[in-house]
A and B are shown apart, each in its own frame.
Chain A
Amino acid sequence: MHQDRYNPNQAPWDPQIAQARIREFAHREGALLPMLHALQAEFGYIDQAAEPLIADALNITRAEVHGVVTFYHDFRHQPAGRHVLKLCRAEACQAAGGDPLAQQAEARLGIAMGTTAADGSVTLEPVYCLGLCATAPSAMLDGRVVGRLDEKRLDALLTEAQQ
């Protein structure tokens, strides 16, 4: 489940499915993060309506659940675009020419980093290191890693992301 967190067949929010996933994880030590990952894999985001269900299952307050959901960059509060393109914006990729590539992506998609295209095709996100620092600059499209990005390779990725 982890290696492919983007799922084109993500289900619409359904409290019964959510409840089933929550129950699957509730007995584990430190269950909240695995539970949230499972819900996000299922629905593509963490619906606010999931928070009281989780709070109930783990016997913690809804505020505590909300605090965790909002602390971590990974958890989405609404569905992403059909594709998610992450561009590494950390130092090694900066040293390898990542800054102009980020500008190229923003310009071509007509959106800012951290937002989704109006047609729902793609969400463009910064990521701070994919651990591909010797084959930089790097990106991840829907869980697939791409290294040695240049203008041309990025252009091909953007075309794919706009499908």
Chain B
Amino acid sequence: MTLRLFIPRDAAAVSVGADEVATAIGAAAARQNVAVEIVRTGSRGLLWLEPMIEVATPAGRVAYGPVEPGDAEGLLAAVRGDGAHKLRQGLSQGLTEEIPWLKRQTRLTFARCGIVDPRSAADYRAHGGGKGLERALALGPAAVIEDVLQSGLRGRGGAGFPTGIKWRTVAQTPPQQKYIVCNADEGDSGTFADRMIMEGDPFVLIEGMAIAGIAVGATKGYIYIRSEYPHAVAAMEAAIAAARADGLIGPQVGGSTYAFDLEVRVGAGAYVCGEETSLLDSLEGKRGQVRAKPPLPAHHGLFGRPTVINNVLSFASVPIIVDRGAAFYRDFGMGRSRGTMPIQLAGAAKYGGLYETAFGITLGELVDDVGGGTWTGRPVRAVQVGGPLGAYFPRALFDTPFDYEAFAARDGLIGHGGIVVFDDTVDMAKQARFAMEFCSIESCGKCTPCRIGSPRGVETIDRIIHDENRAANIAVLEDLCNTMKFGSLCALGGFTPYPVMSALTHFPEDFGARPRLQAAE
């Protein structure tokens, strides 16, 4: 009997040896004369267990991890039932679906990630893929937009703008060439959900974009992927070719009269291109500089045409919303944050990975219970939520629920859902300096507060660190942050004050000052 094994081809798994493990298992199988079928999947998102391989059994898939190439011989022997092999006890995690870290999640967007073969449209359909598109074709454009609107889905890229409103605005423009653009320029440190979807379940993104195309009357879509993601680029290109052959996209989408086709475009190492208008300029072949809004991309987007531009996770959430209906999705979450959020635990988190759950879970539950504190064994001192433009939160704010409004109320943002955990060796003044430095490296240069403000910010923080006129320079820094926040054209300059000010407010001792800011409140 052929043994079926699942080994991730996700870049994170590959970075810790998944390819070598796959090769070693193939070789071990040949030596042991065992017939094996190795399916290269995406990652289940339990990244601390990578390389995590799964074995098909009658009871379900059984997980082993972290596996090293040297474990291959023993692991094969163990799964064939050769007694109480040490690997069975040491590496076996039991049935994958029963691993508590996975079982506690609500996987809607990531339902198939790590399970299916990301190169196979047939496998996608065998696991329920394509149903959203079928229902979209049956419902028609207006009802699809209503579903997306009613689901409460908000842009998962970070801004949290209601996706349905973007779609409706584009749908209401007169018929002409319109575009669907996917923002896969996932540049925020601590985030990798877009990458995991593209590498693990690329067809769900393709299906979501095809549904958007039908809904607003667009026939062409672009997926703009950052160049730092070569594995995602390869996965999307392979999946697009497979989707064309399958009929998921092409001249007759799902056998209908709608046409929709997709193309991957690769960025060139500019963080600011994650800002939607910069991304559009970059796609047009220009410098990735921010555009002033209005006009909105929905009216004047790519090449001046009406354009829906959404994040990977927003599009990838659409098929299940259209398939199961708006109410199904809306029932998850809290307040105005509906549905689920794929949260990414990173940095020093002991159990780092992809944790999809309904909005409303607290930051403390995520960091301490799910993340398990740090792998360094030292206490968690700060977490940065929402990427390089997100605020640093101290333990005192760990009761904040994961919700757009709740984070905003505490001068933070959930952004794209990344949480970077820092232990107590972190120097918060250094982190604040880095935020300004990163902004100055990545500024597109179009607006002055960002272009000039960020290098001045670095210099000012340096003076504070070196104890030159500390009180006066802290006042300068606060003033500068205020100017950047309200005077910048986009979130790069506008949000860089979040990490800077949160570090200064919550960790004044690292700036050599008495905690005067907290005292003043």
Binding site for B on A (CB under 8 A): 2-5, 29-34, 36-37, 58, 64, 67-68, 71-75, 88, 90-96, 127-136, 138, 140, 143, 145-148
Contacts and interface: CB of A to CB of B under 8 A. Distances in A.
A30 B15 contact: no
Contacts of A95: 346-348, 420-423, 426
B268 A74 contact: yes
Interface string B410-442: 000000001011110010000100100010011
Contact of B12 (A71, A90, A96, A147): A147
Contacts of B148: none
B342 interface: no
Contact of A31 (B194, B271, B285, B347): B285
A3 B188 contact: no
A91 B48 contact: no
A127 B228 contact: yes
A34 B402 CA distance: 39
10 residue pairs, one from A and one from B, having the closest CB atoms: A134-B352, A32-B285, A95-B347, A147-B15, A90-B189, A133-B346, A72-B268, A73-B269, A74-B269, A134-B47
A131 B192 contact: yes
A127 B228 CA distance: 8
A97 B216 CA distance: 47
A146 B15 contact: yes
30 contacts: A3-B231, A5-B227, A31-B285, A32-B286, A33-B266, A37-B268, A67-B287, A68-B286, A68-B287, A71-B270, A72-B267, A72-B268, A73-B268, A73-B270, A91-B388, A91-B431, A92-B189, A94-B431, A95-B346, A95-B347, A95-B348, A129-B191, A130-B15, A130-B228, A131-B11, A131-B191, A132-B192, A133-B191, A145-B11, A145-B231
Interface in B12-32: 12, 14-16
Given A32-B285, A91-B434, A95-B420, A134 B48 contact: yes
A145 B51 CA distance: 14
Nearest to A29: B303
Interface string B259-271: 0000001111111
Nearest to B351: A134
Contacts of B16: 135, 147-148
Interface string B29-51: 00000000000000000011010
Contact of A37 (B266, B346, B418): B266
B347 A129 contact: no
A125 to B, nearest CB: 10
Contacts, number: 164
B195 interface: yes
B11 A33 contact: no
Interface of B: 11-12, 14-16, 47-48, 50, 186-192, 194-195, 227-231, 233-234, 265-271, 282-289, 303, 344-349, 352-353, 384, 388, 418, 420-423, 426, 431, 434, 438, 441-442, 444
B501 to A, nearest CB: 16
A135 B270 contact: no
Nearest to B354: A134
B269 A92 contact: no
B230 to A, nearest CB: 4
B105 to A, nearest CB: 15
A95 B282 CA distance: 31
B48 A128 contact: no
A75 B268 contact: yes
A134 B353 contact: yes
Nearest to B50: A135
A118 B345 CA distance: 40
Contacts of A73: 268-270
A132 B11 contact: yes
Contact of B228 (A29, A32, A131): A131
Contact of B15 (A4, A71, A145): A145
A134 B287 CA distance: 32
Contact of B288 (A29, A72, A128, A138): A72
A137 B352 CA distance: 13
A152 B431 CA distance: 26
Nearest to B266: A2
A140 to B, nearest CB: 8
Given A33-B265, A134-B47, A128 B287 contact: no
A86 to B, nearest CB: 8
A28 to B, nearest CB: 9
B268 A136 contact: no
Contacts of A96: 347-348
B347 A71 contact: no
B420 A91 contact: yes
Nearest to B14: A145
Contacts of A147: 12, 15-16
A136 B349 CA distance: 10
Contacts of A67: 287
B285 A136 contact: no
A35 B444 CA distance: 21
Given A3-B231, A92-B420, A95-B421, 19 more contacts: A2-B266, A30-B283, A36-B268, A37-B227, A37-B266, A64-B286, A68-B286, A71-B288, A90-B190, A95-B346, A95-B423, A130-B229, A131-B12, A131-B228, A132-B12, A133-B344, A134-B345, A134-B349, A134-B353
A132 B271 CA distance: 16
A3 B230 contact: yes
